[in-house]
Amino acid sequence: MKKQRFLLLAILLCTALSAFAQYPDSSISKDLWYKNTIIYNLEIGTFKDSDGNGTGDIEGLIQQLDYLTALGINTVWLAPFQPSPRKDDGYDVSDYYGIDTTYGTGGHFAELMYQARKRGIRIMMDIVLNHTSDQHPWFKAAAANPTSKYHDYYSWSKKRPAIWNKGMAFPGVQTETWTYNKEADAYYYHRFYDFQPDLNFMNPMVKSESKRILGYWLNQGVSGFRLDAVPFIIEKPGSDPDKPEHDLNIIPEIRRFVQWRNGEALILGEANVIPEENNDYFGKDGSGMHTMFNFYANQYLFYALATGDIAPLKKALQDTRDIPPTSQWMFFLRNHDEIDLGRLTDKQREKVYQQFGPEKNMQLYDRGIRRRLAPMLGGNRARLEMAYSLLFSLPGTPVIRYGDEIGMGDNLNLKERLAVRTPMQWTNGKNAGFSTAGHTFRPVIDTGAFAYQQVNVAVQQRDPASLLNWTINIIRLRKECPEIGLGKWQILETNTPGVLVMRYDLHDKTLITIHNFSNTAQKVKFSAPDARYYNLTGHDVIQTSQGTFTADIPEYGYSWYRMENFR
């Protein structure tokens, strides 16, 4: 183990030294592909149905790879596609080594990997190691026989623990975290639904099994994993779930295994933690998760979008900037879950609710909003563009949700988070072009302003001014600005509290971005080195005096500028 740790540190050191050699002004290497990729999150079942049975499948995804290529996508992150009873949309896995037959076979998956690789697209997958389905053979064996080796794959108690109703992941929906199993005559632990018993990672056999699972899928050609519920994986059973004890050694152990199997493989951690805990997950030397979602900043981002007050967002960005040079934040606007606002104060959260989720059925788990971005912003094109321009210009890697490139809506009649998991809207034909079936497994959005008859890929492909074509252009622009993912950044002070101005520097490149969160036009003034400015988007910047610049930014406006010859 010590030898492996030494060799891994040697690899990390060589990577860092190579970075310094390539970029004397940056401690980050271009070889870290995840720094400047564009990640597109989709669910196979809701993306495209190829055989007319009403559910999306792998062959349907293969058919749409050229669309993703044209969009500018480098990396596709797949929601769970392994066998599952699907009580939690696939996050209740019953076989870690298989393909859900609804989606296809191992042969279909191999073809997907081949076709994606041909187009230069990497495939990442959700890996749900914190818990299994209660229909998994491990849990069935564990419940049937307390002497089975699988019994200790889970956490059990003969008596109901005093903390039986604490630490619920889904408050308002869950009622307990310890549930009685009649066959075992014992209570089992589950952070999520009662049909998702938690695995016990304090058991060495569970750790070994998890590595086999990761190794199997790396061998199938995936480029990385979105690791679900990381804080719960490393939680020590029996500790207070509101203030749990963690075994932080598990994270670098997983990283070492993945890195040895594939030196370029990525681990994207789902860990909604406070800034003081960030480096517990990244590792102080960068030996933990390669990347994590910046949930903390995302909550203040939505507060800024709702109120125009950007001070908390600026602070959140500063509070989360101190991470290892080989690590990276993943920024997003919407994902497959609710918008989590749990870190905001009650007053701040209420302001976001008033703007984006005023009705009770728009809210979820006493902390979030279960809507897509376009309906939250009232379909306002200027606000949508500003929000996505901001996403692509934040200091990290952008992640977009399928359908957001066309401004898809949500279906609040669906249960919980399924509201934002409706079928992709390809055309204005039957079932939005998603399927030829008489009935789709989940209804397409066919009423209101976001119905597929008006909002779909085909109609937007023909319209040069569409949101889809605008998104293609902003993705291209993001790829032309590697300093966002690789360089140093700073927030520039202005005379306008509702306008965020950021500067990025990488070697001989400098970029300035301006975003107006206000619903009124603003004249923004900021200081920067004397330089020649090239306007990449939006509105002209004017140098009023040496080192002082101004720009007139309309309501919800944005601009990107390239600086040249400033040294």
What residues are labeled active site? 228, 270
Which amino acid is present at 30?
A: K
DSSP 389: H
Cβ-Cβ contacts under 8 Å for 107 (sequence gap 6 or more): none
Please name the helix (run of DSSP H) or strand (run of DSSP E) that holds residue 124, with its range, or none. strand 122-127
End-to-end Cα separation, the chain, in angstroms: 48
Cβ-Cβ contacts under 8 Å for 290 (sequence gap 6 or more): 34, 224, 255, 266, 267, 268, 326, 327, 328
Q: How far apart are CA 339 and CA 350, in angstroms?
A: 13
Task: Please give the C-alpha separations between residue 564 and each of 91, 448, 483, 528, 567, in angstroms, as whole numbers.
Answer: 49, 47, 14, 12, 8
Cβ-Cβ contacts under 8 Å for 354 (sequence gap 6 or more): 306
Q: How far apart are CA 328 and CA 330, in angstroms?
A: 7
Nearest to 182 by CA among 194, 191, 193, 164: 194
H, E, C per residue of 410-464: CCCCCCHHHHHCCCCCCCCCHHHHCCCCCCCCCCCCCCCCCCCCCCCHHHHHCCC
**Phi and psi at residue 120, to the nearest 5°:** 75, 25
